[in-house]
Chains A and B, each alone.
Chain A
Amino acid sequence: MSNLFQSYLFSLIFWVSLSLGCFGLMLLHHTIRGKWGLPILRFLEAGSMTLVLMGVLFLVVFAGLPYLYPWARPDEVAKDPILQHRAGYYQLWFFAARFALYFAVWILISWLLIKWTRLQEKTGDSRYAQKRTNLSAPAIIAYAVTVTFASTDWVMSLDAHWSSTMFGFLYMASQALTAMAFAIFLLTWRASQKPYSEVVNPALTRDLGNILLAFTLLWAYLSFSQYLIIWSANLPELIPYYIKRNKGGWNWLPTAMLFGQFFVPFLLLLIPSVKAKTRNLMMIAGWILVWRIVDIFWQIIPVLRPDGFSIRATDPIVFLAIGALWMGFFFWQLKQRSPLPTHDPRLQEALDHA
């Protein structure tokens, strides 16, 4: 039973991260209106809508709270003053209310933005673009606040005493990296099919590759900063986080990640000719997605399985099951609308020229 919930939480956090990454990138696109965001906007919109599904799937976690979180085990709280101090915050109803609030904010903003894109496409009224920008800019703040609290609630609190102030930001960077890699993978995968073939060109793939490079760097920078600060301070409340994740065979995961998640994509994405070819970019994006799974696995599972490195059968099964639901929902959403957005004249220009 506890295996099942461990696998479930790990899988859920990965897929929620992908949804939230799509959501965050959509906010970014509507705020700055970069041309590079248009070809992947539909992926971001459909990815944001999967938050509805993720909200429902998250309810299962409530059934397994004591299997996962130390604050949900009364006997453990009884002998731990720090957990008692935090008990007010981690009351079940408050935890549930926060969960409801996060998803309400995310889904409401997604729904409005997608509605305004649709209305603009139907009516051609460019005032909707300004409405989206006006909502998206403050929504990025709401996104930052909610993701910080959500990552604290769902992941940070797995370690009874641990805290890290950059954890929320690390999650945002990690989500953006996941979603960017996912969107680039889909776009480059379909690059030879119409209508994508008409908008995918070396200038676009170079932009997308550079953004992927920037998020790779941001992720590495934040991951390492967090590690360096905690390693330097060496405090008894903080250091166990890394000790638990670096013993009993777990240590080869971060070592592998240093190369797999950082050096390999970083060095490859520096080369201009790599970014000019859709096939190369697709392989790098796919590679990054695999390492995103490893990273989330390493953050969540070691504290739940302190006896040493282990992958249980439930891990891949539950991961793929939630993934299948996610993909089903995503492609169903994607099919509802045209493959490329039609509201922006810049993209229409590119299509007309083709």
Chain B
Amino acid sequence: MSTQEIHVHEAESAQPRANLYGMVAEFDHADDLLHAAQQTYAAGYRKIDAYSPFPIHGMPEAIGFKEGRVGLITFLGGVLGALTGAGLQIYTTVIDYPMNVGGRPLMSIPSFFPATYELTILFASFGAAFGMLALNGLPRPHHPIFNAPNFDKASQNKFFLCIEAADPKFDRVETRRYLEGLHPTAVSDVEK
């Protein structure tokens, strides 16, 4: 097999799969994107994502987005905060440096509540913010989706639906034909 033949073969089936992140369809309206996403999910595609300038009601359900673990991480952050707040106060005022305040017992639980409560809120907020960042894989300087043509419009007035190459049902020819059947304004490959 000569190098010439290989080159021709590659040209027929375009680039090898390894270089492809996915395929993206561009829409003009939010409703079109929502319907396209619902249809795509129903067609059996699972690794799909939608990009729009504003949140679209019903979109998480349409692309099959499952309730994330941010809530759980937030809760665990809160528990850790409560333990830290209570532990810090109990350690300092009862064990490390006992001090008589107004004749109250050293272990005066009501007076430990405000700071415990504040640290619960603080750590829960940390859990929510950093958990969200971690689960989203952020901070991340670049993402393949930005290779999609015209993608800067996703924060202005265009709506994009991406089927990732990692989807088991993904096929260069079939997926392109499928996306074109959704009547987008454009379908393009997204390179990695």
Contacts and interface: CB of A to CB of B under 8 A. Distances in A.
Main secondary structure of the interface of B (DSSP, over half): helix
Nearest to A230: B110
A228 B110 CA distance: 6
B113 A224 contact: yes
A272 B75 CA distance: 12
Interface residues of A, number: 8
Interface residues of B, number: 8
Interface in B85-143: 102, 110-111, 113-114
A62 interface: no
A232 B111 CA distance: 8
A270 B75 contact: yes
Contact of A228 (B71, B75, B102, B114): B114
A272 B71 contact: yes
Interface string B62-92: 0000010001000100000000000000000
A245 to B, nearest CB: 15
Interface string A197-240: 00000000000000000000000000010011001101000000
Interface in A247-294: 270, 272
Contacts of B67: 272
Nearest to B108: A231
Contacts of B114: 228
A214 B114 CA distance: 18
A224 B109 CA distance: 12
B73 to A, nearest CB: 13
Contacts of A231: 110
A297 B102 CA distance: 32
B182 to A, nearest CB: 24
Contacts of A224: 113
Contacts of A270: 71, 75
B72 to A, nearest CB: 10
Nearest to B104: A234
B19 to A, nearest CB: 39
A133 B71 CA distance: 35
A224 B114 CA distance: 10
A232 B102 CA distance: 9
A227 B75 contact: no
Contacts of A227: 110
Contacts of B111: 228, 232
Interface of B: 67, 71, 75, 102, 110-111, 113-114
Q: Which 7 A-B pairs have the closest CB atoms?
A: A231-B110, A228-B110, A272-B67, A228-B113, A270-B75, A272-B71, A224-B113
14 contacts: A224-B113, A227-B110, A228-B110, A228-B111, A228-B113, A228-B114, A231-B110, A232-B110, A232-B111, A234-B102, A270-B71, A270-B75, A272-B67, A272-B71
Given A227-B110, A234-B102, A270-B71, 11 more contacts: A224-B113, A228-B110, A228-B111, A228-B113, A228-B114, A231-B110, A232-B110, A232-B111, A270-B75, A272-B67, A272-B71
